[in-house]
Amino acid sequence: MKMIGLLGGMSWESTAEYYRLLNERTRERLGGLHSAKCVLYSVDFAEIERLQVEGRWEEAGDVLAAAAKSLSAAGAELLLICTNTMHKVADRVAAEVDVPLLHIGDATAEAVRAAGPRRVGLLGTAFTMEQDFYRDRLTAGGLEVLVPDGEGRATVHRVIYEELCAGIVREESREAYRAVIRDLVAAGAEGIILGCTEIELLIGAEDSPVPVFPTARLHAEAAVARALADVPEAAPTS
């Protein structure tokens, strides 16, 4: 199995989910006591969040690029940025290392296409929903992307940073997200992309009348498939 390098800590709540998902998928694929070969660089999210708010994306890219170099030096053979928003600097990170970076938008678009929907609603941080770096990646992957209205975007963003990144899960926030999802479906969305890795702590398939696509899970599954591309499937047990 190739060594997976995780650029995490943004937030650590969702990075912990990545670690669980990578290991569960590896065990499903290989059986027995197998677990994922991975190495983690966890940044201080408070520093990253400040750079996001101040629009200092080049500096944020420098931080993640340095972390990626550390992961490469530690033996990583495949890199994951364990957050959707920071894929704004994915090209900067990828340019600094020889290790391939698996883009979360590509993994998500591939999974959505395989499932059938072409018009999708996107939930995420305001940066992810409102800027081009992520929506354009999905569009290039063959999808039409809808985002919530201004009030909906503000609600989704606030819950991510004020609650989910702090490990707080509130029923009233779940209901607020359900209302945003219903509006997107009414506007024609055939599926909903959970385009922030923390949203999976709050929303599941039961909260939407159309299929949901949890990006952290899809990213982790794609990473394990890539890391095990040359490894035979486990023999079925009787």
Longest Cα separation, the chain:
58
Q: Per the residue annotation, which of 26, 82, 196, 215 is the catalytic one? A: 196
Distance of CA 142 to the CA centre of its chain: 18
User: Is 83 in the active site?
Assistant: yes
Residue 175: other Cβ atoms inside 10 A: 10
User: Is 125 in the active site?
Assistant: no
Distance of CA 29 to the CA centre of its chain: 21
Q: What is the DSSP letter of 234?
A: P
Matching residue, tokens 């990626």: 68
116 vs 34: CA distance, rounded Å: 32
**By C-alpha distance, which of 176, 172, 165 is closest to 201?**
165
Backbone angles phi, psi at 143, to 5 degrees: -110, 150
Q: Per the residue annotation, which of 15, 38, 82, 83 is the catalytic one? A: 83
Reported in sequence order, the residue ranges of 10-92 that DSSP labels E, i.e. its strands, are: 38-42, 78-81
**Contact residues for 51 (Cβ-Cβ < 8 A; gap 6+):** 57, 59, 60, 63
Catalytic sites, residue numbers: 83, 196
